[in-house]
Amino acid sequence: MNAIDPHDLTVQPIRLIGQQWMLITAGTPESFNCMTASWGGLGVLWGKPVAYVFVRPNRYTASFIAQQPELTLSFMPESYREDVLYCGRHSGRDVDKMRETKLRSVQLPDGLLSYADAELVLSCRKMFKTRLQEADFLDWSEVHPRWYSEDNPLHDLYICEITAAYTK
């Protein structure tokens, strides 16, 4: 993979995250987990290039994110669509996603984890985490019925500095 300056990213963030989806991966080479995510964004905050993601606290991946200062966002090619979907439909609590998909984990030059054949990987350092609160919504009546329930708790928002970007 080629390291590029995150400022030089030339992606279409809404299509990239919303349609191609990403694998959020956290943990160590010995023990890690990933999940599919299609909510989030890329931008600038506190003078840094940042990525932000929304993770429901009941995801198994959330426990790995909590344990490490860093995580990665991996964007896989179309040939991995089914595998990425699998990671969004099954929990690492129940299955070994590396065994059940053709995803092959690789260590990036910075030591973080991604997957062979990833088109783009963003290495991220957590800077900020907050749990979304009902009281902060300005359109709760519209959002709530569609996205939140007892089984679907409010997301944790993580804002992360993009410390490295790698392309194929």
Ligand X SMILES: Cc1cc2nc3c(=O)[nH]c(=O)nc-3n(C[C@H](O)[C@H](O)[C@H](O)COP(=O)(O)O)c2cc1C
Q: Is residue 146 within the footprint of ligand X (CB under 6 A)? A: no
> DSSP secondary structure string, 73-85?
EEE--GGGHHHHH
In the complex, least distance from residue 24 CB atom to ligand X, rounded to whole angstroms: 8
Of 28, 1, 21, whose CA–CA distance to 108 is shortest?
1
In the complex, least distance from residue 152 CB atom to ligand X, rounded to whole angstroms: 9
Q: Is residue 14 within the footprint of ligand X (CB under 6 A)? A: no
Q: Which is nearer to ligand X, 156 or 161 (CB)?
A: 156
* Cα four-point dihedral sign 43, 66, 129, 95: positive
Of 37, 65, 64, whose CA–CA distance to 129 is shortest?
65
In the complex, least distance from residue 138 CB atom to ligand X, rounded to whole angstroms: 21
In the complex, least distance from residue 75 CB atom to ligand X, rounded to whole angstroms: 13
Q: Which is nearer to ligand X, 35 or 71 (CB)?
A: 35
> DSSP secondary structure string, 91-145?
-TTTS-HHHHSS--EEE-TTS-EEETT-SEEEEEEEEEEEE--GGG-SSHHHHHH
Q: Which is nearer to ligand X, 61 or 114 (CB)?
A: 61
Q: Which is nearer to ligand X, 100 or 142 (CB)?
A: 100
Burial of residue 47 (number of CB atoms within 10 Å: 0-12, 13-18, 19+):
exposed
Touching ligand X, residues 42-101 (CB under 6 A): 54-56, 59-61, 85, 88-93
* Cα four-point dihedral sign 41, 78, 152, 97: negative
In the complex, least distance from residue 37 CB atom to ligand X, rounded to whole angstroms: 3
Q: Is residue 37 within the footprint of ligand X (CB under 6 A)? A: yes
Residues that bind ligand X in the complex, under the rule CB under 6 A? 21, 33, 35-39, 54-56, 59-61, 85, 88-93
